A and B are shown apart, each in its own frame.
Chain A
Amino acid sequence: MHGNGYNGTVRIGFYICHCGHNIASIVDVKAVAEYIKSLSGVVVSSEYKYMCSDPGQELIQKDIKEHSLNRIIVASCSPLLHEHTFRTAVEKGGLNPYYFQMVNIRENVSWVHTDMKAATEKAKDLARAAVQRVFHHKSLETKHVKIHPDVLIVGGGIAGIHAALTLANAGKKVYLVERDPTIGGHMAMFDKTFPTLDCAACILTPKMSQVKNHPNITLWTYSEVAKVDGYVGNYKISVRRKPRYIIEGLCVGCMDCIEKCVYKEGKTPDEFNLGLSKRKPIYIPFPQATPQIVVIDPETCIEFKSGRCKKTCVEACDRKAIDFQQKEEIKEIEVGTIILTTGYQPFDASRVPFYGYGKYPNVYTSLEVERLVNASGPTGGELILRDGRHPKTVGIIHCVGSRDKNTNRWCSRTCCMYSLKLAHLLKEHTDAEVYNFYIDIRAAGKSYEEFYDKLLDENVHFIRGRVAEVSDWAVRPSEEGKLIIRAEDTLIGIVRRVPVDMVVLAVGMEPQADSQDVRRMFNISCSTEGFFLERHPKLAPVDTFTDGIFIAGCCQGPKDIPDSVAQAGAAAAQALILIDSGEIELEPNTAYVVQEECSGCRTCLTICPFTAISRDEAKQKAFINEALCKGCGTCVAACPSGAIKQNLFEDEMIFSEIDGLLKMESPACC
């Protein structure tokens, strides 16, 4: 038996849930309920088939009234699943919801054990720990914070564009921040899109100009988020606007200045065409760039390098839009919610040296081929190789930097389909023989398998096997002057040497190089491979663990355009929920500084990941802003003199819980 009684005020109701057979098949719920009944402070102890059901919740409410209960414990599933349910039930029963404690005997007991006797004992231990804990529970007040209705979207690819337009069309103000001089992202670089083969630019550029012209969207290109402060509903953002050396309001995108630049020809590899063409120091990324505003690259502009340029561009601009003195500008904005659509980076093909990228000029990445076959690309859509030839045979190597334990283990999901698309386009442009070297063809999407069938009918060759190497080492006369792809054809069990004129590497998708920095700035998590982590892989795919911050598109993981657009819409809807509800409830698990106990040592100030702690210099004490505090407990652990406490996690609660687990009687309750 437990203790010699208690102070007479705590009256505990304990309920153990069968969860159908989920719990009751491994835990002897009756035995647990009987045991808990014997503990001091426990007035009611019962078991029920489904505590989360309406009758289960009503049972709690009835008992609170009949037995004047003032502490409620439910032993059932995880707090993530039903803590809110039971707190609400307790509140409806007339009790402060924070007198409730949940014991997880499903994930922690029944689902992970097979021995009924031991599992029952463990359930008793966990329940006893909760009984000793609730003695120290206090009545707490739920705080509400208002949601600022404006939204920040970071990244102007198709996901960011779609989210921005969705929100703007719903009447919300959106800031869209893009670090490149134009929005459009990777999609703007594609030629056609699978499986419908409609032109990427034709479907994307109208949306880009809608963004530019939408009254509810503030579009800041060539800009980056520099700082994020605040919390859900009340984020304060600093955006760094890099100087384009062009006055945006004056430039109309006539491009006369580009024409008149002292450079007659471009000398700098063109980023948009992946270096397949050259651009001038003053340029516009591509004809439909949005906004239609030129940029000056100070790294290559003679005026910036020497100060002695004739500045023919300035003469050419009759609107006086060129400003060499332009400085970086910091914009401060307030938003309530944030959507990150920062995209991906293509796998660097030179990391697989045996495929010869960078060594053999006629080895291309898939993205380069997108530009090569594009009518507005570096060759006007004519497929001319780096050595000036037209390819008669092309080999497409799948899974470069995907499904490979030496580089990236994941499937990039899009490469099979875009490889099929490129095979089709290459055949269409050159009538070449096209060989696909694949591991598996993954065509799981609407009309994707049909597209694969179509390619089979177009006489594209498919060789099932991972390519061992690409070389120029000819062993037969027919291989002279060719690139030879060596691969095992696993369907017929022989090693094949396929001589080709052109190799296309279907590179996979990777997290952006700075995804960790972005993650830290926005205080969200990454999964092991570095993509942003969603709150739940199935049920909260666009939420993050930071309230008010959502993710969409390839920053969350590799995906194609339809999936990116779907996620962007979902993220916009999640933001709308917050905006239209106007306020959000905050869990009162916040930390607070007991003023008379604080020695003013400053240890807590810099370690708070949410910058919620400041120091009152007059009183020489630390102070925590409740609205900023997320209840992570870092300061509580770090405070060297124990002057910081945290609601719901006070030392007495935790120590009593531990004592309960160890079958030690806690002095405070016994």
Chain B
Amino acid sequence: MPDKPKVAFYWCASCGGCEESVVDLAESILDVVAAVDIVMWPVAMDFKKKDVEAMADGSILVSLVNGAVRTSEQEEMAKLMRKKSKLIIAYGSCAHTGGIPGLANQFGREELLRYIYEESPSTVNPQKTRPELKVIANGSTVTLPNFFNIVRALDQVIDVDYYLPGCPPTPKLLKQALEVLLSGKLPEKGAVLAPDIALCDECPKKDTKPSDLKFTEFKRPHWMQIDPKVCLLAQGILCMGPATRGGCEGVCISGNMPCTGCFGPPSRIKDQGAKILSALASQVEAKDEKGIDETLATIPDPVGTFYRYGLPVSLLRRKNFNSTG
């Protein structure tokens, strides 16, 4: 069936959850398979890099690439997929904004390798052996890809046409996106294929959010019995919803867990963490410096809280971006 549009899936630094989300299409996946010709999908099908290399440039209609870019191999594959595809979709938080792997940007490569191979409590490595890019053993050469100094979102490596946000994206958004792409009515380049309004808009607990939250401390969800009917922020639980793009239909919130920000910010916002901080900080009850410090000290991991999925695209630690090698 040569006329079916070609679709590819690829993964970079990711956990595999995005792959799961494709399977989560359930029976709809059959419609997808019927409508397209999948030419690359490492998790499910046995295509090789050379198969893709053999294809004509631009012959794949759309490649959905998930995961952040941490290694030279991922960079190489991302560039290959770009070359062979008409459209690239950054699929999921890691490709979109760097995701959980992006939190490693708090540290440099040397710091990370030293910890993993020498200092971590579970490591026994008296020779301080580190992985080498090239090892010759028994006459054969083994190579490993380069481990970059930083983690990058996909569009910091290749040109990206669209983004499907989420950790992982919901099947509903994936289905909508595929339908739109196959219909040929393409959205504006660079679009994030989800509503451009914050999650509060569709939050089931929206009506119970007070206008002044008057934070005295930030509570962690496991400390307490959460009232399922009331806005989590009103209960003192840090919810990223006000600064996070909607479209997930509040799946976490319906499960009584706060939004952690995986859809990234709405398009207007440059830095999701800074934005939620300025919103929450203006609603801290204490007005004196000591009281404010005490309230903010109840957030145990500020970077992991406010930049959980977006450190590589945030304004923080941009200086590291000077060297990707």
Interface residues of A (CB under 8 A from B): 596-603, 605-607, 615, 620, 634, 637-643, 651, 655
Establish whether residues B282 and A601, one from each chain, have CB atoms under 8 Å apart when the complex forms. no
Given known contacts A620-B206, A640-B242, A643-B268, A603 and B196 CB-to-CB distance under 8 angstroms: no
Complex Cα spacing A491 to B268, Å: 71
Q: Determine which of B206, B242, B246 lies in contact with A603 in the assembled complex, contact meaning CB atoms within 8 Å.
A: B242
Q: Please name all residues of chain B whose beta carbon is closer than 8 Å to the beta carbon of A606 when the two chains form the complex.
A: 211-212, 283
Would you mind naming 22 contact pairs between A and B with Cβ atoms under 8 Å apart?
A597-B266, A597-B268, A598-B197, A598-B201, A599-B200, A600-B201, A600-B206, A601-B241, A602-B211, A606-B212, A638-B278, A638-B279, A638-B282, A640-B275, A641-B200, A641-B265, A641-B269, A642-B265, A643-B197, A643-B266, A643-B268, A651-B268
B240-259 interface bits toward A, Cβ cutoff 8 Å, 1 = contact, 0 = none: 01110010000000000000
B283-323 interface bits toward A, Cβ cutoff 8 Å, 1 = contact, 0 = none: 10000000000000000000000000000000000000000
Complex Cα spacing A651 to B275, Å: 13
Say how far B122's CB is from chain A's closest CB, in angstroms. 39
Complex Cα spacing A655 to B315, Å: 13
Q: Please name all residues of chain B whose beta carbon is closer than 8 Å to the beta carbon of A640 when the two chains form the complex.
A: 198, 242-243, 275-276, 278-279
Say how far B138's CB is from chain A's closest CB, in angstroms. 52
Say how far A656's CB is from chain B's closest CB, in angstroms. 13
Establish whether residues B275 and A642, one from each chain, have CB atoms under 8 Å apart when the complex forms. yes
Q: Is B17 an interface residue (CB 8 A)?
A: no
Closest Cβ neighbor of A637 among chain B residues: B278
B209-227 interface bits toward A, Cβ cutoff 8 Å, 1 = contact, 0 = none: 1111000000000000000
Establish whether residues A641 and B242, one from each chain, have CB atoms under 8 Å apart when the complex forms. yes
Q: Please name all residues of chain A whose beta carbon is closer than 8 Å to the beta carbon of B64 when the two chains form the complex.
A: none
> Nearest 6 CB-CB pairs, A to B?
A642-B268, A599-B198, A641-B198, A640-B242, A640-B279, A640-B243
Q: Please name all residues of chain A whose beta carbon is closer than 8 Å to the beta carbon of B200 when the two chains form the complex.
A: 599-601, 641
Not counting A600-B206, A641-B197, A643-B266, a sample of 6 additional A-B residue pairs whose C-beta atoms are within 8 angstroms of each other reads A597-B196, A598-B197, A640-B278, A641-B242, A642-B269, A651-B268
Establish whether residues A599 and B211, one from each chain, have CB atoms under 8 Å apart when the complex forms. no
Q: Please name all residues of chain B whose beta carbon is closer than 8 Å to the beta carbon of A605 when the two chains form the complex.
A: 211-212
Q: Please name all residues of chain B whose beta carbon is closer than 8 Å to the beta carbon of A637 when the two chains form the complex.
A: 278
Q: Please name all residues of chain A whose beta carbon is closer than 8 Å to the beta carbon of B275 when the two chains form the complex.
A: 639-642
Complex Cα spacing A598 to B199, Å: 10
The interface centre, meaning the residue of B200, B206, B209, B210 with most chain A CB atoms within 10 A of its CB, is B200
Q: Please name all residues of chain B whose beta carbon is closer than 8 Å to the beta carbon of A634 when the two chains form the complex.
A: 282
Establish whether residues A641 and B210, one from each chain, have CB atoms under 8 Å apart when the complex forms. no
Say how far A623's CB is from chain B's closest CB, in angstroms. 13
Closest Cβ neighbor of B233 among chain A residues: A601
B185-200 interface bits toward A, Cβ cutoff 8 Å, 1 = contact, 0 = none: 0000000000011111
Given known contacts A637-B278, A641-B198, A599 and B268 CB-to-CB distance under 8 angstroms: no
Closest Cβ neighbor of B202 among chain A residues: A599
Complex Cα spacing A638 to B197, Å: 16
Establish whether residues B198 and A601, one from each chain, have CB atoms under 8 Å apart when the complex forms. yes
Establish whether residues B266 and A601, one from each chain, have CB atoms under 8 Å apart when the complex forms. no
Closest Cβ neighbor of A617 among chain B residues: B207
Establish whether residues B266 and A641, one from each chain, have CB atoms under 8 Å apart when the complex forms. yes
How many residues of B are counted as interface, with CB atoms below 8 angstroms from the partner's CB atoms? 27
Complex Cα spacing A615 to B268, Å: 21
Given known contacts A597-B196, A620-B206, A640-B276, A603 and B283 CB-to-CB distance under 8 angstroms: yes
Establish whether residues B209 and A597, one from each chain, have CB atoms under 8 Å apart when the complex forms. no
Establish whether residues A642 and B266, one from each chain, have CB atoms under 8 Å apart when the complex forms. yes
Establish whether residues B242 and A601, one from each chain, have CB atoms under 8 Å apart when the complex forms. yes
Say how far B95's CB is from chain A's closest CB, in angstroms. 22
B166-206 interface bits toward A, Cβ cutoff 8 Å, 1 = contact, 0 = none: 00000000000000000000000000000011111100001
Complex Cα spacing A615 to B200, Å: 14
Q: Please name all residues of chain B whose beta carbon is closer than 8 Å to the beta carbon of A615 when the two chains form the complex.
A: 211
Closest Cβ neighbor of A596 among chain B residues: B197
Establish whether residues B199 and A599, one from each chain, have CB atoms under 8 Å apart when the complex forms. yes
Say how far B288's CB is from chain A's closest CB, in angstroms. 14
Complex Cα spacing A607 to B276, Å: 15
Establish whether residues B279 and A603, one from each chain, have CB atoms under 8 Å apart when the complex forms. yes
Complex Cα spacing A643 to B269, Å: 9
The interface centre, meaning the residue of A596, A600, A603, A640 with most chain B CB atoms within 10 A of its CB, is A640
Closest Cβ neighbor of A606 among chain B residues: B212
Establish whether residues B206 and A641, one from each chain, have CB atoms under 8 Å apart when the complex forms. no
Closest Cβ neighbor of A634 among chain B residues: B282
Complex Cα spacing A653 to B134, Å: 50
Complex Cα spacing A605 to B200, Å: 15
Complex Cα spacing A502 to B211, Å: 60
Closest Cβ neighbor of B210 among chain A residues: A602
Say how far B211's CB is from chain A's closest CB, in angstroms. 4
Q: Please name all residues of chain A whose beta carbon is closer than 8 Å to the beta carbon of B269 when the two chains form the complex.
A: 641-642
Closest Cβ neighbor of B207 among chain A residues: A620
Complex Cα spacing A600 to B210, Å: 11
Complex Cα spacing A598 to B200, Å: 9
Say how far A218's CB is from chain B's closest CB, in angstroms. 35
The interface centre, meaning the residue of A598, A601, A639, A641 with most chain B CB atoms within 10 A of its CB, is A641
Establish whether residues B279 and A639, one from each chain, have CB atoms under 8 Å apart when the complex forms. yes
Q: Please name all residues of chain A whose beta carbon is closer than 8 Å to the beta carbon of B199 when the two chains form the complex.
A: 599
Q: Please name all residues of chain A whose beta carbon is closer than 8 Å to the beta carbon of B212 when the two chains form the complex.
A: 605-606
Say how far A186's CB is from chain B's closest CB, in angstroms. 33
Q: Please name all residues of chain A whose beta carbon is closer than 8 Å to the beta carbon of B201 when the two chains form the complex.
A: 598-600
Closest Cβ neighbor of A620 among chain B residues: B206
Complex Cα spacing A596 to B196, Å: 9
Q: Please name all residues of chain B whose beta carbon is closer than 8 Å to the beta carbon of A607 when the two chains form the complex.
A: 282-283
Complex Cα spacing A2 to B246, Å: 39
Establish whether residues B279 and A597, one from each chain, have CB atoms under 8 Å apart when the complex forms. no
Say how far A593's CB is from chain B's closest CB, in angstroms. 12
Establish whether residues A599 and B209, one from each chain, have CB atoms under 8 Å apart when the complex forms. no
Say how far B16's CB is from chain A's closest CB, in angstroms. 31
Say how far A605's CB is from chain B's closest CB, in angstroms. 4
Say how far A663's CB is from chain B's closest CB, in angstroms. 16
Say how far B324's CB is from chain A's closest CB, in angstroms. 19
B19-47 interface bits toward A, Cβ cutoff 8 Å, 1 = contact, 0 = none: 00000000000000000000000000000
Say how far A141's CB is from chain B's closest CB, in angstroms. 24
Complex Cα spacing A599 to B245, Å: 10
Complex Cα spacing A598 to B243, Å: 11
Q: Please name all residues of chain B whose beta carbon is closer than 8 Å to the beta carbon of A601 when the two chains form the complex.
A: 198, 200, 206, 209, 241-242, 279
Complex Cα spacing A655 to B266, Å: 17
Q: Please name all residues of chain A whose beta carbon is closer than 8 Å to the beta carbon of B198 when the two chains form the complex.
A: 599, 601, 640-641, 643
Closest Cβ neighbor of B245 among chain A residues: A641
Establish whether residues B266 and A603, one from each chain, have CB atoms under 8 Å apart when the complex forms. no
Say how far B185's CB is from chain A's closest CB, in angstroms. 21
Q: Please name all residues of chain A whose beta carbon is closer than 8 Å to the beta carbon of B283 when the two chains form the complex.
A: 603, 606-607
Closest Cβ neighbor of A605 among chain B residues: B211
Establish whether residues B268 and A641, one from each chain, have CB atoms under 8 Å apart when the complex forms. yes
Q: Please name all residues of chain A whose beta carbon is closer than 8 Å to the beta carbon of B276 when the two chains form the complex.
A: 640
Establish whether residues B242 and A599, one from each chain, have CB atoms under 8 Å apart when the complex forms. yes
Complex Cα spacing A651 to B270, Å: 10
Closest Cβ neighbor of A639 among chain B residues: B279
Complex Cα spacing A3 to B198, Å: 35
Establish whether residues B211 and A641, one from each chain, have CB atoms under 8 Å apart when the complex forms. no
Complex Cα spacing A651 to B268, Å: 9
